[in-house]
Structure 1
Amino acid sequence: MVRPFCRSPHQLHHCHADISSHPSTMLPANFFFFILVIVIIALATIAPPVSAERYDYSTANLSTRWVNNAAALQHSVGYSDGSAVRAIVLRSPKTFYGPSYAAGFFCSPPCDAFLFAVYIVYTNSGAGITMTTTGIPQVVWSANRARPVRENATLELTYNGNLVLSDADGSLVWSSGSSGRSVAGMEITDTGNLVLFDQRNVTVWQSFDHPTDTLLPGQSLMEGMKLRANSTTTNSTENRVYMAVQPDGLFAYVESTPPQLYYSHSVNTNKSGKDPTKVTFTNGSLSIFVQSTQPSNISLPQASSTQYMRLEFDGHLRLYEWSNTGAKWTVVSDVIKVFPDDCAFPMACGKYGICTGGQCTCPLQSNSSLSYFKPVDERKANLGCSPLTPISCQEMRSHQLLALTDASYFDVSHTILNATNRDDCKQSCLKNCSCRAVMFRYGQNDSDGTCFSVSEVFSLQTIQPEALHYNSSAYLKVQLSPSASASTANKTKAILGATISAILILVLAITVITLYVQRRKYQEIDEEIDFEPLPGMPVRFSYEKLRECTKDFSKKLGEGGFGSVFEGEIGEERVAVKRLESAKQGKKEFLAEVETIGSIEHINLVRLIGFCAEKSNRLLVYEYMPRGSLDRWIYYRYNNDPLDWCTRCRIIMDIAKGLCYLHEECRRKIAHLDIKPQNILLDEKFNAKLADFGLSKLIDRDQSKVVTVMRGTPGYLAPEWLTSQITEKVDVYSFGVVLLEIICGRKNIDISQPEESVQLINLLREKAKDNVLIDIIDKKSTDMVSHHQEEVIKMLKLAMWCLQNESSRRPSMSMVVKVLEGAVSVENCLDYSFANANSVISAQDNPSTYSAPPSASILSGPR
């Protein structure tokens, strides 16, 4: 039987063999070979170049989104050590079985946090590329080592060419920064390089340019780049050990102030050109290329299998190779070979540890059993030691130097003090609080030596002077305990002072407790007033019920001036629970507000599901809004794609209808008084709803104005707030500001802008006078400028109508809705002298006229 069409080069030979040896054929074998060659050439011509030689698992196209979930990703494997990988792109092995490169999600045990990483896994390509559980996956690059993500996090290759990693809650974790560039797709190469490429297959972004702790064959470290070690074998956060390429070679440091050098491979050169120094890992060497010189090579074992080089948390730079015999990774070389043993490495015994023949101990005074240090962990001596008494610069008289003879330090490039004898060396350290230790090296005469100072002490090592042809002593600064020789008079004064202070504190404490108990008693009497159920009131929950549904308020969605918002679940419905923490209302006023807001319902108002008023606990339960607040979509805080014009129009209409209902369709007019993008929430389909009525005001129908203290948020306040006499038209002004922000894609007040553009309203005034309103349209939205320019200009004119200084000249919200529906046109005679926001802001700075802090209560974040 003829086999199916060959899916890889590894199956090509078998297909050919089956066809040519089929017993039923009567034609010559050469004829079938000729036909096969023609078919292969035709298929090679038709097939895309990326997948012509391997399975198409190694590339990904634009506008693709992957979810960190074992069920959602085809190539998901768990390993014997508890780690797991979930590959997104996977490169076919060069042989039938063997190590292969893949990129996707990776987790170390207990697998509750994931990296987006490039790793080496063992695979076979027998019937499609499959990963096996052989060996343990080796991470060679990661994007988010400082901030792992959770289950159901997402990776997206956006339509504009940006690779974006977001956590399960939608928060941005990492992006490639290639947005707006001509990207055609993503690929994992044969060398383990994760690449974003354009239509001409030219690299736009690559992981090789952003190394972490590992080098792969063919990868280069350019001048200024660093390898930075992981904290431990299972903790991917950055260690203090790093290796850097500098103009004159390769150097390794421990991070401190200043950095401490423990390895150098320098190249002598008179560098005059502009080409940067680079270090390249090739098969058999680590080559250092410096301008106008021959490469300086560090010899490595020739590769017989897949290799990688890793800077490890103990300071070693180790070369690993896959062993087919043992089916595991083995160390084939320690690249840093200048040290006689591990004791010369900076982290061999942690901070302050003394390394002797590979064993770690804490420092002791020479010829004494007196100890000033203790192990960080008694069972793990290599973690180092810590001082029993921390060094204090306020107690410099109590500083002393602990002498360690025949002890040396790895860094000889640190600060050299102007002291050539032992006593001067010690005194120079005692006079400088930032000095934590000095090392004194000398020959036969200790009155003529070199004094080195360090500001942070890592591992020291014991030495044999006869082997090194010099002597070395270390002096560690320690803090002495307070002197026990204080005079009796001072002791008496101290005891008397302490006694009097204790009595005063006790009396004060009793007074405070008594007042608190009395106040609490009356407060609880007030809190326990029994309220009868009121018609139209939302569901009343117990505090224990809401604490349970939010899992003890564990997942915070946002916070503001009046409290914090937490995600919860009541039954099968997701909710947002707002806990009021600084509300100044009494319980009766709180319940009256709940009754008022809870009794109204509109498609463009966030629904109040219920509340809790139990003693001092006051909480509001709202419906959950998955897209979060509007500000995150129009200010581009999370690197999101721009909203299209139709979506922006729908959001504007939803806001207008919500305000229209509050102003004109309720029994009593309701002025929201805090309209801003943070208080406008979006559901899954970007339908907008008004939220947060913590500052709202009820206005009787027969009232033309009401007097109230200033409330709201700077940048959104109408000019009449300065008089404290307001109407619902203050909401119309705020709506105009929000409308302007939606169209312009920026904040109304943005100090990151040039001085003349900080205030968007001032910029609008100038552009309106010059009739160039198109200049302030959001440049990130191509459809607004290219296809809807006329509609956008009309919308800007509506915003200017709402921003009129005189409230009587502003339209009502029902008029705004008619304009948006196309039934009415915007008034032509508009006044462009919009109020300067500075005057309102300066008035807000007076706390006596402002009822809430600048960061008003919000329900921001995804719900």
Structure 2
Amino acid sequence: MNNQRKNPLFLLCFLFLSFKPHVTVFAADTISLGDSLTGKQTITSKDDNFVLGFFSPGESQNHYIGIWYKKVSVQTVVWVANRDKPVRDPSTSKLTLLGNGDLVIINQTDKTPIWSTKSASNTLNATEAVLGDDGNLVLRDGSNPSVVIWQSFDYPTHTWLPGGKLRLNKRTKETQLLASWRNQEDPAPGMFNLELDPNGTSRYLIIWNRSIQVWTSGEWNEQAKTFSLVPEMRSNYIYNFSYISNVNESYFTYNLYNTSIISRFVMDISGQIKQFTWSFTSKRWNLFWSQPKQLCDVYGICGPFGSCNQDTLKCECLPGFVQRFPADWTLLDSTGGCVRNTSLQCGNKDGFSPMSTSNLPDSSQSRQVNSEEECKSACEGTCSCNAYAYTDSDCKLWNEGMLNVKQQSNTRAGDLYLKLAASEIQSPMAEDKRKKKSFKVAVVGAIAGVVAFLVLGLVLVLICRSRRSVGKSKAVDGTLVAFAYRELQSATKNFSQKLGGGGFGSVFKGALSDSTAIAVKKLEGLSQGEKQFRSEVSTIGTIQHVNLVRLRGFCSEGAKRLLVYDFMPKGSLDANLFHQNDPVVLDWKTRYQIALGIARGLSYLHEKCRDCIIHCDIKPENILLDAECCPKVADFGLAKLVGRDFSRVLTTMRGTRGYLAPEWISGVAITPKADVYSYGMMLFEIISGKRNAEHGNNDEKIRFFPTWAATKMHEGEDIVSLLDNRLDGNADIQELTRACRVACWCIQDDEAHRPSMGQVVQILEGVLEVNAPPIPRSLHVLVDNQDNVFFFSESSNGNSHARSNTTSSTSSQAKSTISLTSSKS
């Protein structure tokens, strides 16, 4: 052994094995004391929901420590540590947990701290930083993990995640707020903040430039679980909002009923608060709701001397002005506004240019004058005056940066006279200018022939190119694409593959140039003008929900009106439900989720949109299924496109007979309860797997399934006998009972006895329990007269015959009303 120790080779090996370089080793979701993250190193939450590490937004060269989704294919950051102190090179910086329990970002070159949790002053020292599956980064003592020393949820940036709080400390008046990013590549705090009212009310406020309140949610209604001015933000089947208030604090928090859903609440750079859900199918964020609803309703969104075009929903500069920070505008930040292209000379050397607006800008000053000429002179004589308006004997002057100018075609709030440099105004020509103009005209005339020839050649080239470029339009998030008819004709191979048709038109399969599959509907029977059609389509395009088919774009060329939707690979519900010989049968779990999803989509249309939308044609053909069998209600909003005279439309609808509510057929004005009736009829078909009017053999009677089902429920017979026999009785009995009762309540004759779609959702979710329904009066007629009466034929004679056979013995049944109780009370 002594000889070995004297051997130089042995000593060299011993020294090599004894040397242990410092290597950062940490658990997948944890940074322990002394550990660091640098360069491309990251930690990931336990169930792979979130990632923490350095990131660089967009094309920026700056880097930040942030948290983003692991399962979302588009990197979406939800929290940023050093949002206003970026680092240039993450390899020379590190995120480390110091011995004093402070989590810091350090520049390794000069050892200077860039950001810190400032948690070292806490009585307890953190020994680990853990990234949770809720997106919360927590500092804690490893020996006592239940005690939180610091957490990122207490310092949100622009995103409010489920489980987090937006809080007001009533003792210190400090608020937790969401601050928008400055632009797409800069997470530094922008112009818009969302915070709880510091005066202690339950209102949320959007604050512009940290000084002016520009929006409020209204007070929280605890009973309705919603804000008075934001009904779409109410607790629903996805979100459950809660408001807590005590002597120390008040705050809101929310959770998801289904934790598999990925959702986020954002103070967007657009100045709007938005709720998004992620679609794994389309691999995009779907907008659930936003406030303010329109970009042009956001205060100061276009900055000083900018105007918001309400037709295009884009910011523009006023005439004579140019973008102050063009680079920011390309990153969707136009709040810097515009500056004059030519400076004013002051006095009568400047002039005024009239412009029509749909509103007058904010922050005007009134001046007492006797005429418009005096108003003009008042602005002309004030060097700081930028514009004037004279309306109803009221003179308004604008001496500061003009904010919130809105413009819209064919809408005006009076002429606004903008002061511009003389060179920016087209004034009458002086005599010598007229001579110069005449000379120019002569020159132009001399070369007109040459120019005309060149233009003609250019036009021919462009026409050829346009024919070759068919199908190259690309959709932009948040907007609708205006397709050319020739594009859609090419995308659908001249409308060769028909998917189906109905009262509103036929649907064809197609593909865009990037191979994205689409469904194109050729609308029929429209009598609207171009502008009205575009307005209605724009409204439909803003409605987005996980259970509604997304509208991608439209085409409007003369009488050619088409709508472009996402293509649903599994087709319509009827194609998946009614094929008795199909080897693939929808199981009960899938059917129940389809029924629930449809109800959620209709509830959104009826109760969550700014204007209630009645679908008017609910049937299996208008329910589409994506690749994961998630139901999507199609053709919503189209009834308004053809006007309120539905009789003409209904005569061309196929498969509608049997879904129409009695009040509609009798000519009474319809309400959302007409959709409830149709939904109930369709729900019976989902349960049975057959059309309600099932045709037997030649020697068998026609059996109307809702009649049979209602009778069996009323007599207390085995509910499983109502189930599609292909399922062999494999169904959750509670769900099946719930579905059958809901279906029967939905088809009650009196619409007042039918539940709302919101109640239907709650019943199917198990939040509400419902008592056994009575047999609808019209079904009683069928029970007694099945040999003679067919349910709700479109024939007026059939309808009158059905009503004439109604017996007084069933009147007490018809007076029954739905009884709901909370199953969670």
User: Which structure: larger Rg?
Assistant: 1
| TM-score bracket relative to the smaller structure | 0.3 to 0.5
| TM-score, length of structure 2 as denominator length | 0.37
